[in-house]
Every structure is written in C-alpha cells, then in structure tokens.
Structure 1
Amino acid sequence: MARARSRLSAGALVLDSEGLSKWCAADQRVTAYVREAQDNDFRVIVSALTPIEAYDMRVKNDRFRWHLSRLRIEPVTDEIAFHAIDLLRETGLHGHKCAIDAVVAVTALRAVKPTVILTSDVDDMTKLCGKQIRIVGV
C-alpha cells in the first residue's frame, strides 16, 4: 500500500530553539511536523548550539536527552561560523541578537534540500535564509 504524498519529501527539517522546546513539550503541531518528517525520510536536525539555547531546567534531563537522541545534531565548524558571520553582514543583523539564528540558518542552508525550518523568529530567519529555505512559524 503506497503512502499518500506528503507536504514533506526527502530533505531536512531544522528545529530552532523554540521548535526544539515545543517538540520536547509535546506541542501537537511541532510533533506532527517531526513525525511527518521522520515518516518521509527527512533528516530532523538541530545545530549544536540549539540544545544549549533551548535548555530549560523545568524539563527533566532524561526527557530532554531522549528527544535529542532522536535528532541529528550538526556541529558548529569554523566554516559554519564564518558563513554565519557573512550572513549577518549581508543582512545587516547584529551577532549579539542573531548569532545563534545565523548558525541555525547556515545549518539549514547546508542541509539536504528541500529544507524546512520550524522557528519562532520568522522575520530574521527569512532575512538570513532568503527563498532557499521554507520557514514555518511555531
């Protein structure tokens, strides 16, 4: 029996800190995106900085680590850092406010296409990624 065509097809789903936090909190919409991505062989990824930003003392460590174990955690290399700086320069955004967003954007830009980002910061992510990445507000 063939699966119905999905909104997602082999590519990548990137979670920013809000996307990760909502997934850990069992938000229905974010959980549905993650489930659909996994069912359709999407890589569900986060930057190595995202869990640090998303960490919440109210979430049990074991639960947080279980969720992270289901994701691909992408390292922040020198190449990614310099690309993030270039994006900040090109968009006029400041590193103090948007450093992690820029790293998440580069992580998404380097991921297998098509790529979707689940984010609470649609405006900055749209500036950073342009039209190359589908940005979904959560």
Structure 2
Amino acid sequence: MARRKLSHEGTLVLDCEGLSKLVDDHERVVALVTESRKRGMEVVISALTIIEAAHRRTDKARLAWLLSGVRIVHVGEEEAKAASTMLINAGLHGHKYAIDALVAEMAVRQRRPVVLLTSDIDDMTKLCGDRVRLVSV
C-alpha cells in the first residue's frame, strides 16, 4: 500500500492517539512525523493532549524527550471560548468532547496546510470541517 504524502511546510497536529502512538514507537506514526519534519512541517500538540495521553504505564522519559521536539500550544480563555463555539456548532457536548474541541480549535489556527493525526475522524470532521486534513491513526 502506498504511503500518503504530506504537503510541504504547514503543520502536523497530534491528538491524544497520535501522541500515544508516537510515545509507543508505532511505526506508521513515527514515519508520518519523520516525513512531515523532512518536508518542513512543524509538529504541534495541545497542552491538554499531554494530560489526556499520560497514564501510569507511559514511558515518562520518552514522553519528555518527544515533548522537547514539538511545539506545545497552551490553552487560554480565548481558545476555550472558540472551542466552546465549535462544540455548539457541531452539536456536541463539552462533557465528552472538550479536549477534542480544544485540539480542533488549535488545529484550525495553525499554519496551513494542517494535517491532524487522530483516531476520532468522525468527531474531528464535525469540529474541523474541511479546514484540516484528517489522517486516521
């Protein structure tokens, strides 16, 4: 099967599953991140993704090393309000989709083209529309 090509420059966003698989050294995710960097794409995550991806068995040293090589986008009041609006527009509830909404809101603000590695294609499609290219991981 041919590997998908990522666009030159732009931004690669990792959601929880993307970061978790990168920490776990998942071959496909590592290859996508490596290829994106070769093409000049910046790799970014939401600060909340760190919380969502960390668990008792997380290799904390590897996580720290990987985080040192990505841009971590912090969440403030403006971002929270924009994510809330995205949730309402998508017909989703913040109780279940709050972090997804913040990741989506952050993704749509990044340098284009934006590629989002996610396991939540359906939810992210509702939130991002066609503003972000979604790649299932």
TM-score range, shorter chain: over 0.9
1:72 aligns with 2:71: yes
Tell me the residue number matched to 1:97.
96
Q: TM-score, normalised by structure 2?
A: 0.94
Identical-pair percentage: 50
Q: Is the partner of 2:135 in helix, strand or coil?
A: strand
CA distance in 2 between counterparts of 1:86 and 1:60 reads 35
CA contact (8 A) 1:14 1:108 kept: yes
CA-CA distance at 1:7 after TM superposition: 2.7
Map 1:1-138 → 2, pairs under 5 A: 7-138=6-137
CA distance in 2 between counterparts of 1:7 and 1:110 reads 18
Q: Is the partner of 1:22 in helix, strand or coil?
A: helix
CA contact (8 A) 2:17 2:53 kept: yes
Amino acid at match of 1:85: S
Runs of 4+ in structure 1 over 3 Å off: none
Amino acid at match of 1:91: A
CA-CA distance at 1:56 after TM superposition: 2.2
Q: TM-score, normalised by structure 1?
A: 0.93
CA distance in 2 between counterparts of 1:7 and 1:75 reads 25
Unaligned regions of 5+ residues in structure 1, if any?
Answer: 1-5
CA-CA distance at 1:58 after TM superposition: 1.1
CA distance in 1 between counterparts of 2:87 and 2:6 reads 30
CA distance in 2 between counterparts of 1:41 and 1:15 reads 16
Residues 77-108 of structure 1 deviation map (CA, whole Å, 9 limit, x = unaligned) = 21110000000010110001100000000110
CA distance in 2 between counterparts of 1:55 and 1:91 reads 27
Q: Is the partner of 1:49 in helix, strand or coil?
A: helix
CA distance in 2 between counterparts of 1:48 and 1:9 reads 25
CA distance in 2 between counterparts of 1:67 and 1:132 reads 27
CA-CA distance at 1:128 after TM superposition: 0.2
Q: Is the partner of 1:93 in helix, strand or coil?
A: coil
Unaligned regions of 5+ residues in structure 2, if any?
Answer: none
Q: CA RMSD in A?
A: 0.9
Q: How many residues matched?
A: 133
